[in-house]
Structures are given as structure tokens and as C-alpha cells.
Structure 1
Amino acid sequence: MSTETPRDLFARFQHNALAGRPGLDADMLAADVVIEAPFAPPGRRRTEGREQIVARARAGREALPIVFEEFADVTIHDTADPEVIIAEYHMVASVPGTGTRAKAPFVVVLRARQGRIVHWREYQDPAAMAQVLAMTAGGSDGPG
């Protein structure tokens, strides 16, 4: 049994993302993990199960031709529940070969039990994300 805390798991997520890998890896997820993204497009708002999440994360990372450079303005809030943290941050990314950089805000509510993530609810700014995705297609300057 892993003894990783919610903060440890969030730090591992950051490390993975900055290393060019999917942020969430199989070893950090419970078998019955649930990922929610309430502001995502329909059909992508809820994903259940480690295998499905890992496959979706891998495909998403491969399809997104950007390099995550930094987590900026990170604030982690502990809650009254020791299984839960709330992390606020901006992800800073660039498009290789273009010099284009952008950042987008996120808030994650992470619940971990027995050293594994059991629930991850991610809030992101859809307009900022659309602008970042447009950069990869058209090379225009994004925010930040």
C-alpha cells in the first residue's frame, strides 16, 4: 500500500506533465478512480476506471503538440478532510518551433485514499483552452 498523500500525488502529476508524459499515471490511480471535468465538452465530462483514464490521458497527450513548461501561481489548499486538497494553478506551455507561449488557469479537487487518487475534479477555463488549442493549429499568440 502506498503512503503518498494528496500533496505527493499532485506533485507527481506536475512532474509527469513537465516531463512530457500524461500527468496521471496508472500507479497513482485507484482501480475505480473517477475523473470529472464539469466544463469539458459533452462526452468528456466524466471518465471512470484506471484503464480508461490512462488510455484517454495517453491519447490526449500524444494529440496535443505542446510542451508544458511550468506550473505557475500554484496554491494548494488543505481541507478539513485529510484525503482532499484543492490546487489552483496556471499551466504554462509552448508550441515547439513557433516561439508561441500561453498559460491557462486550472483548479483541481483531488481526493486520495490509501496513496491512490480516487477522485479528480478539474475546472479549467474553456475559452483559454480553446485559445491554446488554436495556437497549435494556427500559431497565433495566446495569453500570457
Structure 2
Amino acid sequence: MSNVTEETRKVVRRWFDALTSGDFETALDTLDENVEWINYTPVPGYNDDMKWIGSYRGREAVLETLKVFTGAVDVRFEKLVNLVVDDDQAAGVIHEMSTVRGTGVEFEIEFIQWLTVRDGKIIRWKSYTDPSQIIRALRGDVSGQEAA
């Protein structure tokens, strides 16, 4: 394994460990000051219920969008279930179970975070998922939600 791959693995493990334990201070510390943060593209009438999505630049902008997310969603469980690292690139699969604060409706998703690391910091973060379960929960639709 190359030194670059090993360094990338250390940085992204720190990111995922902090993220899944709710330690936002440590998670933010893994981000480059000028990180490119791409959290889907808002599509009016479809996914724009998710007020935290969009593209942002810089650690402060990321913190603000995370505040919007955590204000709207109570993350009850989050776990890294797979991690692939090659050179300065990493892809992590996260399993999340959450509840929308405004509706009380739960959702469960898997999403992928694609990360680029340089000089010990994450310089690019991009997220991929099917947002339909999040949108359903934000809109208060309990159809399709499994009984607890």
C-alpha cells in the first residue's frame, strides 16, 4: 500500500469515526479550510425540502449546512459499513437511521461519501444517495415506513 493511500486512510477514518460518534469538532478539523462540499443538487419541487443540500466552499459553510441538517434531523444511528481507499481517493458507505424533527417520521438510508485527501486534509466531499426516504419523512408521509 502506498504512503498516500495510507495517509488518506488515516484522515478518512478520523473523519468517519468523528462523524458517526457525533464529534463535529474533530470531523471539521479533518476538512481543508477551502473544502469543496457537494451534497446533491437541489431540484425545485423534488428534493429542495432538504434545505441543507447544495454545493458549498469552505469549512465555515460546511458547518452552517450541518447545523441546518441537525436542526431538521435527529440522527439516531450512523455507522460506516464499508470503506475503499486508493491513493488520495476514498469512498465510505454509511448506514443511517434518523427522525425528522418537524414531522416525527423516521427514515433509513445508505449513502456514499466520496472524499479526496491532500496534505492530510479532505479537500473534496461529495455525497450520493437515493433521497426519496428523506423527502418522504420531511413531508410527513408515513406510507412506506415499516412498523417499529
Shift of 1:45: 3.1
Task: Please say if residues 86 and 110 of structure 1, whose CA atoms lie closer than 8 Å, have aligned partners that are also in contact.
Answer: yes
Task: Please say if residues 9 and 28 of structure 1, whose CA atoms lie closer than 8 Å, have aligned partners that are also in contact.
Answer: yes
Which structure 1 residue ranges, 5 or more long, are not aligned?
none
1:41 maps to 2:50: no
1:57 corresponding residue in structure 2: 66
Measure, in 2, the Cα distance between the counterparts of 1:26 and 1:73: 17
2:121 corresponding residue in structure 1: 116
Check 1:94–1:51 CA distance in 2 against 1; reply closer, same or farther (3 A cut).
Answer: closer
Measure, in 1, the Cα distance between the counterparts of 2:80 and 2:14: 18
Which structure 2 residue ranges, 5 or more long, are not aligned?
1-6
Task: Please say if residues 15 and 27 of structure 2, whose CA atoms lie closer than 8 Å, have aligned partners that are also in contact.
Answer: no
Q: 1:102 aligns with which of 104, 107, 124?
A: 107
1:130 maps to 2:135: yes
Q: Residue 117 of structure 2: SS of its match in structure 1?
A: strand
CA RMSD between the two structures = 3.2
Q: What TM-score comes out, normalization by structure 2 length?
A: 0.69
Q: CA deviation digits over 1:58-102, x for unaligned, max 9? A: 23322x1x32122257111122x1x32111122111356x87532
Q: 2:31 aligns with which of 29, 32, 55?
A: 29
Measure, in 2, the Cα distance between the counterparts of 1:107 and 1:8: 16
Task: Please say if residues 33 and 48 of structure 1, whose CA atoms lie closer than 8 Å, have aligned partners that are also in contact.
Answer: yes
Identity %: 20
Measure, in 2, the Cα distance between the counterparts of 1:25 and 1:6: 9
Q: What TM-score comes out, normalization by structure 1 length?
A: 0.71
Number of equivalences: 130
